[in-house]
């Protein structure tokens, strides 16, 4: 029962990571670029959400409606004014640019919100749970998992069924050939990052409702997203989702064994996958 509970909690935890992993996989797939500030953006959006909910007394749902467009705008501007200047075959400039941005953001948040941990009140939703045969399942984690599933499915459909998705895949496969057929890669990139960060607007609210947030939490979220993507397999949208579940389960079981072992268990599973199946679990071949 203890282990079944860990398994369920792990899958639910994975729902959170899946949302971070989605944006990371999208940006890497399209631009071969990793935004090191990805986790810091989740934290920034979560902190903005918490402050807004306190200042204006608004609930989680209206907050999502405000934060998602704001996040998408942040993502679009980030790509247009920063990342489009450093995207290219050499990965050093983009890594350094986003690394610098990450340091600046973390410390800016520290200056504004101090090192205190905060969390958001959601009018009871954060503590509501269902009792299924002795296992308590939180309503919020289930919502997070459902949202992650819908987002992953939605992005998968967008990539394969829409004109925009075709442009994204074209820009990813061959930038110059895509440009010749009338796809402006830089415009496509800006939309891709807008989606990747836009998702974080939703994740930010979930993060703030589910756990406590402090300005230094970003790097851990980045690392979880990265591990999920690699475990699942690069180049597959559902890969990141599966990887998130595996990571979530590994951490939840690790925490049950020893509270100091949870995060480490996730890292060890990641390293094991890298050693034994470097192409990822979901990848063919």
Partner 1 sequence: MTTANIAFPAQAGTANPDVTVIRHTGSSRVAAAVCIVLLIAMISMPWWGQSGHIRWVVEFSVYLAIAQMWNLLAGYAGLVSVGQQAFVGVAGYTMFVLASNFGINPFLAVWLSVLVPGLLALPTYALLHRLDGPYFAIGTWVVAEAVKLIVLNIGYVNAGSGMTLRVMSQYTLHQREVGIIWLCASMLLVTVGGSYWLLRSRHGLALTAMRDNPVAAESQGVNVRRLRFLIFVAAAMGTGLAGSIYYMAQLRITPAAGFNPSWANVCIFIVMVGGVGTIEGVLVGALIYFVADRFFAQYGAVYMVVLGLMTLLTALYARQGIWGLISSRIHIPLFPVGRKLITPSHSKTGGTP
Considering only the stretches 61-69, 84-92, 141-149, 167-175, report the one whose residues sit in contact with partner 1 under the rule CB under 8 A. Answer: 84-92
Considering only the stretches 27-35, 136-144, 179-187, 191-199, report the one whose residues sit in contact with partner 1 under the rule CB under 8 A. Answer: 27-35
Residue 121 or 186: which CB sits closer to partner 1? 186
The yes or no reply on residue 282 touching partner 1 (CB under 8 A) is no
The yes or no reply on residue 252 touching partner 1 (CB under 8 A) is no
The yes or no reply on residue 184 touching partner 1 (CB under 8 A) is no
The yes or no reply on residue 277 touching partner 1 (CB under 8 A) is no
Q: Report the residue count for the chain.
A: 285
Query: Tokens 């998968």 belong to which residue?
Result: 156
Could you give the string, one character per residue 106-135, with x where binding to partner 1 holds by CB under 8 A and - elsewhere? xxx-xx------------------------
What's the closest the beta carbon of residue 74 comes to partner 1, in angstroms?
15
Residue 32 or 118: which CB sits closer to partner 1? 32
What's the closest the beta carbon of residue 202 comes to partner 1, in angstroms?
23
Kindly list the distances between the CA atom of residue 155 and the CA atoms of 7, 21, 203, in Å, as whole numbers in the listed order: 26, 12, 15
Tokens at residue 53, please?
């909910």
Tokens at residue 283, please?
């990848």
Neighbours of 19 (CB within 10 A): 29
What's the closest the beta carbon of residue 8 comes to partner 1, in angstroms?
25
The yes or no reply on residue 211 touching partner 1 (CB under 8 A) is no
Considering only the stretches 52-60, 96-104, 130-138, 180-188, report the one whose residues sit in contact with partner 1 under the rule CB under 8 A. Answer: 96-104
For partner 1, the binding residue among 54, 96, 150, 257 (CB under 8 A) is 96
Residues 46-75 that bind partner 1 (CB under 8 A): none
What's the closest the beta carbon of residue 226 comes to partner 1, in angstroms?
5
- Site for partner 1, rule CB under 8 A: 28, 32-34, 36, 82, 85-86, 90-97, 99-108, 110-111, 219, 222-223, 226-227, 230, 234, 258, 260-261, 263-264, 267-268, 270-271, 274-275, 278
């Amino acid at each position: 029962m203890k282990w079944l509970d860990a398994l369920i909690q792990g899958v639910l935890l994975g729902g959170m990571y899946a949302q971070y992993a989605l944006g990371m996989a999208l940006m890497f797939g399209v631009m071969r670029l990793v935004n090191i500030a990805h986790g810091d953006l989740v934290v920034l959006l979560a902190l903005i959400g918490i402050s807004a909910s306190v200042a204006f007394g608004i609930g989680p749902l209206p907050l999502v409606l405000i934060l998602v467009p704001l996040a998408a705008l942040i993502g679009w501007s980030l790509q247009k004014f920063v990342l489009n200047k450093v995207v290219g075959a050499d990965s050093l400039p983009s890594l350094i640019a986003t690394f610098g941005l990450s340091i600046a953001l973390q410390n800016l948040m520290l200056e504004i919100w101090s090192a205190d941990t905060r969390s958001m009140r959601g009018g009871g939703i954060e503590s509501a749970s269902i009792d299924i045969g002795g296992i308590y399942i939180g309503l919020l984690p289930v919502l997070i998992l459902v949202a992650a599933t819908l987002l992953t499915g939605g992005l998968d459909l967008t990539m394969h069924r829409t004109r925009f998705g075709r442009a994204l895949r074209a820009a990813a496969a061959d930038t110059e050939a895509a440009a010749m057929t009338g796809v402006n890669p830089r415009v496509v990139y800006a939309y891709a990052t807008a989606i990747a960060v836009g998702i974080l607007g939703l994740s930010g609210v979930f993060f703030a409702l589910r756990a406590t947030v402090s300005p230094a939490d970003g790097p851990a979220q980045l690392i979880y997203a990265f591990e999920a993507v690699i475990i699942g397999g690069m180049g597959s949208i559902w890969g990141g989702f599966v990887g998130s579940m595996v990571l979530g389960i590994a951490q939840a079981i690790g925490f049950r064994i020893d509270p100091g072992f949870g995060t480490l268990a996730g890292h060890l599973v990641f390293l094991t996958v890298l050693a034994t199946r470097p192409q990822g679990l979901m990848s063919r071949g």
